[in-house]
Amino acid sequence: MRTGIATVCLSGTLKEKMQACAIAGFDGIEIFEQDLVTSPLSPEEVRKMAADLGLGLDLYQPFRDFDGVTPDLLKANLRRAEAKFKLMSRLGMDTILVCSNVATATIDDDELRASQLGELAELAGDHGVKVAYEALAWGKYVNDYEHAYRLVEMVDHPNLGTCLDSFHILSRDWDTAPIEKINADKIFFVQVADAPKLSMDVLSWSRHYRVFPGEGQFELAKFMGHVVRAGYTGPVSLEVFNDVFRQSDVERTAVDAMRSLIWLEEQSAKWLASNATAAASEQKAASRRRYPMELATLPKVNEPAGFNFAEVKADDTAQLEKLLGQLGFEFEGRHRTKDVQLWTMGQARVIINEQAAQHAEPAIAALGFDVDSPVIASARAQQLKAPVVARKVQADEEVFQGISAPDSTEIFLCQGSPDGTAAWTYEFGEGLEHPGSDVSAVIDHVNLAQPWQHFDEAVLFYTSALALEPQPFAEVPSPSGLVRSQVMETSDASVRLVLNLAPAQQAQTDRKTYQEHIAFAVDDLVATARSAHARGLEFLEIPANYYEDLDARFELEPEFLAMLKELNLLYDRDANGEFLHFYTATVGSVFFEMVERRGNYDGYGAPNAPVRHAVQYDSLHRS
Ligand code: MG
Ligand code: MG
């Protein structure tokens, strides 16, 4: 698959954008006119720079408001087009995007449109230019890709074809299957963009909320599957207008963009393999059928089986040790060669890492996931351009395969074992003598704060590299703004990761200023809470108003309600079951949560999240 990206997706100058695209490994780019007009580089210099960088200049765009106009306007439009064709020859470019008219069209007549597009194609032919005509979702008369293609067929000129843009097609819910019937020679260009499903006017949706494939909710693998089946072999190019990407680091966004295409390529191949159109007997042959477009695949991974460990980094570890001890964790000892402690409760493992943590406030630094094969999972992540984490190990120690997530949390790919044990724990010496605890516990979920500019990137990262499935996002009110909360989980929910987008005020920089937590599930939360209470644990104190509201909503047994209140427990209930949980006070940027899931309760106590945010906000501003 030939990869491309429109310069409008990125921040910076044209030169910076082109360099970032080359570093990220794109085959070609679309020159967005505004980027050229504002550049000090001459067209010839742009052409040379692209050649030096090994980038194809695949599409010049956009040329607007051409068709369906009065004769006077047509004359002016053709003059305007010829100037662009001349410019394109200086750039060494041969394809231009012409969007369906949104502003100046006054005549709704396909015969007239076809004759005007025919004149344009003729003129383009004189200059060796190909015109890719695209139906904008909000085009005045032409807003449907099948309509645009009908016009292309009516004109029947070698220099006129169509451009398929996934946003314009999927935002309107047009059926994508008819793409297969388009003559591949007439598809001059394909643009892809994803988007969250929003209900708003389609122009604003397009201009501000497009995201890279895998970061939104469009069925892009299916769209691409139809494009491949049509026989198209040209560039698949990202055209993503997004307010955040346009102000984020250009090289980083280009890598995020490239990752989205690598992932989409794999997903498209998968879609084709599992949606063979032939009869059942021919399915196997059909699923192996070769299409003209070659689709690369990636090392395959299954979703992780569970959390292997969570790691907190800290310089001064005293408060963390105290908290874990009060919660009922056992100290298993120090690593035999490193400044690292291991604490466990049942199968929940917490590492406290004091290495390279000078002056660092306690913060979640790493997560380990159980995978079938750490080597294969790591190969996949690296092909998806995930940065590799280097960790010093001694000769006889388990080597962890590590990658760095967009928020800089280190993700370790660990060998899972059926009984839930971890071989590396033998590297930890005999711990202090502690009374054995028979509490069974697992890491239930981990909640990570994401800097606003890396949120979408994080969703794609965990989707593509770790095979976690994004769930519909929620917005949780907090005293300093709405917190966007995105659950990423495996199909059996054995791994649950919650990504929170901190309000801007709380996340001014890349530094983790926002609170994050690790939640542990136990069988008997009330007993856990009572023991923790007896050990002097400082609970997050829940206001009395909360319990009054709880009673109003759920009509709880008075003794049960009194017990919740006494122990600062939070409660939720839905059709599937019940949820009891409590939070510890925060140390550095970390706090812990203990949960008990009753029945098949599958949520996170979302109705209680605003209470937690408010109490934490209050305690932060009191101290
Ligand atoms: Mg487009
Ligand atoms: Mg939680």
Cβ of 473: how many Cβ atoms within 10 Å? 15
Asked if residue 190 is part of any domain, the answer here is yes
Residue in 556, 540, 557, 562 with CA at minimum distance from that of residue 608: 540
Closest listed ligand to the CA of 497: 2
Distance CA 375, CA 397 (A): 16
State how beta strands 306-313 and 235-238 pair: unpaired
CATH of the domain at 96: 3.20.20.150
- Tell me, yes or no, whether 483 and 557 share the same domain: yes
Residue that finishes a domain, picked among 229, 260, 290:
290
Q: Could you tell me the two tokens for 12?
A: 């910076």
User: Are 162 and 191 spatial neighbours (Cβ–Cβ below 8 Å)?
Assistant: no
Residue that finishes a domain, picked among 263, 290, 317:
290
pTM of the model: 0.92
**Distance from the CA of 107 to the center of ligand 1, in angstroms?**
23
- Residue 551: per-residue pLDDT: 96
**Distance from the CA of 90 to the center of ligand 1, in angstroms?**
23
Distance CA 527, CA 335 (A): 31
Asked if residue 295 is part of any domain, the answer here is no
DSSP state of 504: G
- Tell me, yes or no, whether 482 and 396 share the same domain: yes
- Tell me, yes or no, whether 268 and 331 share the same domain: no
Average per-residue pLDDT for the chain: 92
- Tell me, yes or no, whether 332 and 213 share the same domain: no
CATH of the domain at 378: 3.10.180.10
- Residue 481: per-residue pLDDT: 78
**Distance from the CA of 315 to the center of ligand 1, in angstroms?**
51
Q: What type of residue is 159?
A: N
Distance CA 306, CA 506 (A): 30
DSSP assignment string, 201-263: -HHHHHHHH-B-TTSSS--HHHHHHHHHHHT--SEEEE---BTTGGGS-HHHHHHHHHHHHHH
- Tell me, yes or no, whether 263 and 380 share the same domain: no
Distance CA 260, CA 515 (A): 29
**Distance from the CA of 41 to the center of ligand 1, in angstroms?**
25
**Distance from the CA of 375 to the center of ligand 1, in angstroms?**
39
Asked if residue 55 is part of any domain, the answer here is yes
Whether the bond into 62 is cis, omega within 30 of 0: yes
pLDDT above 60 for 62: yes
Q: Under 8 Å CB-to-CB from 74, ≥6 apart: which residues?
A: 116, 119
Closest listed ligand to the CA of 139: 1
- Tell me, yes or no, whether 446 and 519 share the same domain: yes
- Tell me, yes or no, whether 215 and 317 share the same domain: no
**Distance from the CA of 290 to the center of ligand 1, in angstroms?**
28
Asked if residue 27 is part of any domain, the answer here is yes
For 74, 433, 491, 621, the CA distances from 246, given in Å and listed in that order, are 34, 56, 34, 34
Closest listed ligand to the CA of 134: 1
Q: How many domains does the structure of the chain reveal? A: 2
**Distance from the CA of 131 to the center of ligand 1, in angstroms?**
13
Q: Could you tell me the two tokens for 395?
A: 């000769």
**Distance from the CA of 271 to the center of ligand 2, in angstroms?**
34
Residues flanking ion ligand 1, Cβ below 5 Å: 165, 191, 239
Give the DSSP H or E segment for 546: helix 544-554
Closest listed ligand to the CA of 446: 2
- Tell me, yes or no, whether 176 and 245 share the same domain: yes
- Band of the pLDDT at 405, cuts 50, 70, 90? very high
**Distance from the CA of 591 to the center of ligand 2, in angstroms?**
10
- Tell me, yes or no, whether 393 and 542 share the same domain: yes
Give the DSSP H or E segment for 87: helix 71-91
Q: Which residue has the higher pLDDT, 378 or 509?
A: 378
Q: Pick the range with the lowest mean pLDDT from 89-98, 221-230, 270-279, 500-509.
A: 500-509
- Tell me, yes or no, whether 187 and 313 share the same domain: no
pLDDT above 80 for 570: yes
- Residue 505: per-residue pLDDT: 57
Asked if residue 300 is part of any domain, the answer here is no
Scored b (16 or more CB within 10 A) or e, 69-88 reads beeebbeebeeebbebbebb
- Tell me, yes or no, whether 169 and 206 share the same domain: yes
User: Are 565 and 553 spatial neighbours (Cβ–Cβ below 8 Å)?
Assistant: no
pLDDT digits (tens, 9 = 90+) for 233-278: 999 999 999 988 888 899 999 999 999 999 999 999 999 999 976 5
Asked if residue 297 is part of any domain, the answer here is no
Asked if residue 603 is part of any domain, the answer here is yes
**Distance from the CA of 447 to the center of ligand 2, in angstroms?**
6
For 74, 166, 311, 541, the CA distances from 338, given in Å and listed in that order, are 75, 51, 14, 36
What integer is the mean pLDDT of 282-294? 71
Residue that finishes a domain, picked among 290, 325, 348:
290
- Residue 358: per-residue pLDDT: 74
- Tell me, yes or no, whether 374 and 237 share the same domain: no
**Distance from the CA of 380 to the center of ligand 2, in angstroms?**
29
Query: Which range of residues forms the domain containing residue 523?
Result: 306-622
Asked if residue 435 is part of any domain, the answer here is yes
**Distance from the CA of 168 to the center of ligand 1, in angstroms?**
7
**Distance from the CA of 519 to the center of ligand 2, in angstroms?**
6
Q: Under 8 Å CB-to-CB from 51, ≥6 apart: which residues?
A: none
**Distance from the CA of 445 to the center of ligand 2, in angstroms?**
7
What integer is the mean pLDDT of 392-408? 82
- Dihedral (CA of 277, 280, 281, 286) sign: positive
Closest listed ligand to the CA of 606: 2
Closest listed ligand to the CA of 190: 1
The three-class DSSP label of residue 549 is: helix
Q: Could you tell me the two tokens for 308?
A: 């292997």
- Residue 416: per-residue pLDDT: 82
pLDDT digits (tens, 9 = 90+) for 137-163: 999 999 999 999 999 999 999 999 999
Distance CA 88, CA 95 (A): 8
